[in-house]
Structure 1
Amino acid sequence: MEELKAYMESGILELYVLGQLNAQEQAEVEAMAIKYPEIKQELEAIEIAMEQYAQQQALEPSAGLKNKILSQITQEPVKEIILPTPINYAPYESKIRTLRVALATCASLLVVSGVMLYKTHHQLGDAKDQIASLSLEKEQFTTTVSHMRQTNNDLQKIADMPNDPDWKIVKLAGTKMDPSAKMVVYWHVSGKHVMVDNSKMGLPANDKTHQYQLWALVNGKPVDLGVFDVKADSTHILLQMKEIASAQAFAVTLEKRGGSPAPTMDKMVVMGGVSI
């Protein structure tokens, strides 16, 4: 009896129930179960205990879950998955073995779920890219609308100038440095506003180390009105310059970037007098 007890406590019966023995070992356990009722009872007790534990820990999937997951991945109707018919084992074959088929199917469903989650992750990534693209398009559209609104305001301001006698439209012509150069300056006498017309600027493009500088000639002395680049500001037609209360003429010289305290006379590009 001691040998029988030691055999039952060796763990071989649990391995048998779990299907972890080879054919020879299985045959030995089944022979012992036929010979000793105690072993048969112990096998049945182990089977019941493991089956109860499996049922307690199991999560019951909803009906049609397998087909629903596969259908979402392939986007095609999936035929009903037929599980293998359980095999009728020998009289003492474990009931738990039939559960291994279901466990294998659950493992397959987990793999399928992983694939679906991976695909969903990529779909979310695509959605984020589309949102970013839409945001960029919205930003570009907003910029375009803002540009059009500013352009319309500038054009309206130019159109209203002839109705205000305080606006002086001064056309600057090219000098010996560039006879073909030309540009237009708008000066509001009472308001002191000075603007240059970006759309009518016929000056050679300046490089990164130089800028054009606008000067007002006041009683024969040059007064700095600020620097600008040729069509660097594409948003505005009118470029706002420094204010001036009086002027007899306007001129533009090409200076080092940032401007100069006094005009470089041999770099004067355009000049024009103010008509009274």
Structure 2
Amino acid sequence: MTKKEYIESGVLELYIAGALSEKESQEVYEMMQKHPEILQEVLDIETSIVKLTAAVVPNNSKYTFEHLKSKLNLSDNKEVKVIDINKPKSNWFRYTGWAASIFLTAGLLWFINENSKLKSQVEIAQDNKQLLEQQIEEAKGNLEETEKLVAIFRDRDIVEIPLGGQAISPESYAKVYWDKKTKSIYLDAQGLPEPPKGKVYQVWSLKLDPLTPTSLGTIDDFISDDNKIFNIANINDSEAFGITLEPAGGSESPTLEQLYTLGAVSTS
């Protein structure tokens, strides 16, 4: 048990109230000797109890000894008969005040602790609600995007061009869906490996005779994009498409030694 947990356990209040066994009281005393924080907490609790008790203990001047002395017409020279009272009833109110203060203090500590727990639970619930709302919005967005892609891929006017792996990476593959009406392509690059640090994939539109490459741009968000489908503008009369690995920022012309995939547009 940590010092914080020990302080919050309520054992210090019971110690002050005298409600612990001798062994338990000795343990609290030893903890007070070892840890100044616990000693200070005991002093703070005692101070609070004294302040609370003062409100219920009679402190009116009419209860002072001098006042009672005058009422009884006692003088300093007169012999006073002393009556021994074994159990003074007047102290009952003082003890009641101490007990009430102890229970009130313990109740306040419990309330503060429970209020702190409740506040923490409310904050967690609010965070979970915001996270759930965010996930719902993302799911809606993903669903709408998926439905859009399905519609595009099923469009009979879309030209589908498979891109096969080349010498540097025979296992690589990709696919281009060319929408000539919107002058754009959808590139499915799921079959490409993750590019090394400082490198990016660059997409090319090719004319074959003579070989004329035109850059369609780099895929800078390849790693962060989960579905690996990219919408790219293409105003060219393409005869083939290729993907090379280039330095970050792209190249003016394709590095043929880093050609990962290539595919020609079917003429049939």
TM normalised by structure 1 equals 0.59
Q: CA deviation at 1:215?
A: 0.3
Asked if the contact 2:222–2:228 (Cα under 8 Å) also holds between the matched residues in 1, the reply is no
Matched residue, 1:145: 140
Alignment match, 1:115: 110
Map residues 9-158 of structure 1 onto 2, 5 A cutoff.
17=63, 33-36=71-74, 88=89, 100=94, 103-104=97-98, 107-108=101-102, 110-111=104-105, 112-158=107-153
**CA separation in 2, counterparts of 1:144 and 1:123?**
31
By how many angstroms is 1:209 displaced? 1.3
Higher CA-based Rg:
1
In structure 2, runs of 5+ residues without a counterpart are 1-58, 76-86
The one-letter amino acid paired with 2:72 is I
* TM-fit CA distance, 1:33: 4.1
Q: Which residue does the alignment assign to 1:250?
A: 241
- Identity score, percent: 22
Post-superposition CA distance 1:162-219 (Å, at most 9, x none) = x22xx22111112222222211111122431122024xx3222212311111000135
Q: Do 1:251 and 1:270's aligned partners in 2 also have CA atoms closer than 8 Å? A: yes
Q: For 1:35, what is the secondary structure of its paired residue?
A: coil
1:262 aligns with 2:253: yes
Which of 189, 202, 221 is residue 191 of structure 2 equivalent to? Answer: 202
- Residues 91-121 of structure 1: per-residue CA shift (max 9 Å, x gap): xxxxxx7764664455345412343133222
In structure 2, C-alpha distance between the alignment counterparts of 1:127 and 1:15, rounded to whole Å: 51
The 5 A counterparts of 1:218-257 are 218=207, 220-228=211-219, 230=222, 232-234=224-226, 236=227, 238-257=229-248
Consecutive unaligned residues in structure 1, runs of 5 or more: 1-12, 19-25, 38-85, 90-96
How many residues align structurally?
194
- Equivalent position SS for 1:176: coil
Q: Which runs of 4+ in 1 moved over 3 A?
A: 13-16, 28-33, 86-89, 97-106, 229-232
CA distance in 1, matches of 2:224, 2:89: 87
2:162 maps to what in 1? Answer: 171
1-side partners of 2:264 and 2:214: how far apart?
Answer: 15
Aligned to 1:76: none
Amino acid at match of 2:196: D
Contact 1:216–1:249 (CA<8 Å) still a contact in 2? yes
Distance 1:147 1:191, change over 3 A: closer
Judged with a 3 Å threshold, the aligned counterparts in structure 2 of structure 1 residues 271 and 175 are, in CA distance, closer, same or farther, namely same
